Amino acid sequence: MKIAILGYGTVGKGLVEMIDSNKGKRNIEIASILVRDKNKYKSSKYEHLITEDIEEVFNKEFDILVELIGGLNPAYKYIKRALESKINVVTANKDMLAEYGDKLVKIAKENNVSLRFEASVGGGIPVLKPLIESLEGNLIESMYAILNGTTNYILSKMYDENLSYEEVLKEAQELGFAEANPESDVQGYDAARKLSILSTLAYDRRVYWKDFYLEGISNIDRKDIYYAKKLGCKIKLVGQSKLNDKKVSGFVRPVLVDNNSLLSRIDNEYNIVVFNVDSVGEVSFVGKGAGKEPTGSAAYADVIDIFDKRVCNIDSFTKEKIEVEKIINHNCEALLRFKSPKKDKIIELINDCVYEHEVIDSNEEELAVMVSVDSEHEINNVLCFINNKGYCKECTRLIIII
């Protein structure tokens, strides 16, 4: 059993440690390890296998290429080359699957080799395999999830320890949770890519990540946390998608979750995925969504599955793209915050347009109102009126999920 590994960072090291600790049980030989700068690995145990030259990697014999570099380029080129050379591929790269999953699955099929990517969603949580195999034959109607460890870690620390966004982001990077470019985490792109992978497999149609409503956590401030506590809630970056006949609706956005809800109990780098399944009801998967050991474990399991010739059907990636609705089209509640507003005018307008509202805070600096609406369109209309009348230029909203 011989593999070549591209990338020896957080996940690469996690995988190699897992291979080492399982020697005797499963003997996996490492043919080579590709890195950008081999000087960093001078005294490493595997220094003799480390190279900066991809040709050196492909010149050796191996059965599986494990891609743990990240990003689209040159990772796409390397994965494509391996598949076309009839070499199986394991990857943790959700950017790649979300963008080029259709092309890569097609190439893998044409060449009769496997492409596995358990580590790309939910870190160490085995979720793709149960979704593809154990829930086969069921109709997945909807899902909701916390899919990004970095942002969940940041929001948890802001809530529990009153730390600032910037301080905690730095900590999450040091712990190896964040992407090379943490914009992907904090702007919600990473969670949207993972939600698109899950939705594609669950609904058997290609769901493209950029089609979801997408909002990150970079604007969440201490005052949002203050309101969340006052309302008996936490703030979480949540992904949700639902199959509605010929369309999917979905979003990734920060939301208020009730302190008694399942989502509110998922803190730090932990992730959760909950599927609503026709014959089983709610099925949930919880665990560490980022970090060396959890992700190394998921990549290791993929390698073993390929060696043990367990195949899984990922044809959904090659299916037609399905339309995605971004707006919440049902009853919802939201906290609206208006900065430097004409307070009385805004309350008057909200009173005229919205079914139910409650003022949560009203001071010199801002007005915070909880509204109850039939759909998010109503909120958009009120905010449009307020903006056009010049009552307030800056408003933020946080939807509540029970």
Cite the active site residues.
194
Residue 41 CA to residue 8 CA, distance in Å, equals: 9
Cα-Cα-Cα-Cα dihedral sign, residues 34, 38, 41, 47: positive
- Decide which of ligand HSE, ligand NAP, none touches 185; Cβ closer than 5 to 8 Å per partner kind: ligand HSE
Alpha-carbon distance values, 7 to 70, 79, 298 (Å): 8, 13, 16
Sign of the C-alpha dihedral computed for residues 167, 170, 174 and 179 taken in this order = positive
Residue 178 found at the interface with ligand HSE (CB under 6 A): yes
Binding mask 19-48 toward ligand NAP (x if CB under 6 A, else -) reads ---------------xxxx--x--------
Q: Which residues partner with 276 through β-bridges?
A: 142, 282
What is the distance between the alpha carbons of residues 348 and 369, in angstroms, rounded to a whole number?
Answer: 12
Residue among 15 and 255 whose Cβ is closer to ligand NAP: 15
Q: Cα angle vertex 377, ends 372, 379, to 5°?
A: 45
Instruction: Decide if residue 328 touches ligand NAP (CB under 6 A).
Output: no
Show the CA angle centred on residue 319, arms to residues 140 and 253, nearest 5°: 55
d(CA 308, CA 315): 21
Q: How far is the CB of 149 from ligand HSE (least distance, A)?
A: 4
The b/e string for 39-72 (b: 16+ C-beta within 10 A; e otherwise) is eeeeebeeeebbbeebeebbeeebbbbbbbbbee
8 Å CB contact between 376 and 401: no
**CA dist., res. 43 & res. 355, Å (int):** 67
- Minimum distance from residue 10 beta carbon to ligand HSE (Å): 8
Binding-residue total with ligand NAP (CB under 6 A): 28
Single out the segment in contact with ligand NAP by CB under 6 A; choices: 116-124, 224-232, 253-261, 329-337.
116-124
14 labeled binding residue: no
Helices (H), 237-355: 292-307, 343-353
Closer residue to ligand NAP (CB): 36 or 170: 36
**94 marked as binding residue:** yes
Rule CB under 6 A: choose which of 7, 12, 14, 123 binds ligand HSE. 123
Q: What residue is closest to ligand NAP based on CB?
A: 9
6 is an annotated ligand-binding site residue:
yes
Considering the rule CB under 6 A, would residue 10 count as an interface residue with ligand NAP?
A: yes
| Span 249-308, contacts to ligand NAP by CB under 6 A | 290-291, 295
Contacts of 115 (CB under 8 A, 6+ apart): 79, 83, 88, 89, 91, 104, 105, 108, 314
User: Closest-CB residue for ligand HSE?
Assistant: 150
The only residue of 177, 212, 213, 227 in contact with ligand NAP, by rule CB under 6 A: 177
User: With binding defined as CB under 6 A, does residue 126 bind ligand NAP?
Assistant: no
Give the chain's radius of gyration (CA, Å): 23
d(CA 212, CA 326): 6
The kind and range of the H/E element at 259 are none
Interface residue with ligand HSE among 7, 101, 149, 254 (CB under 6 A) is 149
Identify any residues that bridge with 199 across adjacent strands, giving them in sequence order.
none
Please give the helix or strand (H or E) that residue 177 lies within, else none.
Answer: none
8 marked as binding residue? yes
Least separation in angstroms between CB 175 and ligand NAP: 9
- Tell me the closest approach of the beta carbon of residue 397 to ligand HSE, in angstroms: 25
What residue 148 binds from ligand NAP, ligand HSE, none (CB within 5 to 8 A, per partner kind)?
Answer: ligand HSE
Closest CA to 326 of 237, 235, 209, 245: 209
Question: According to CB under 6 A, which one of 159, 177, 212, 317 is a site residue for ligand HSE?
Answer: 177
Per partner kind, with CB cut-offs from 5 to 8 A, the member of ligand HSE, ligand NAP, none near residue 254 is none
Q: Which region among 143-151, 161-169, 303-311, 314-322 touches ligand HSE (by CB under 6 A)?
A: 143-151
CB of 319 to ligand NAP, least distance (A): 24
Q: Among residue numbers 189 through 248, which ones bind ligand HSE (CB under 6 A)? A: 190
Annotated binding site for NADPH: 94
* Binding region for ligand NAP (CB under 6 A): 7-12, 34-37, 40, 68-70, 74, 92-94, 119-120, 123, 176-177, 179-180, 290-291, 295
Annotated binding site: 6-13, 94, 179
Annotated binding site for L-homoserine: 179
* Binding region for ligand HSE (CB under 6 A): 123, 148-150, 177-179, 185, 190, 289-290
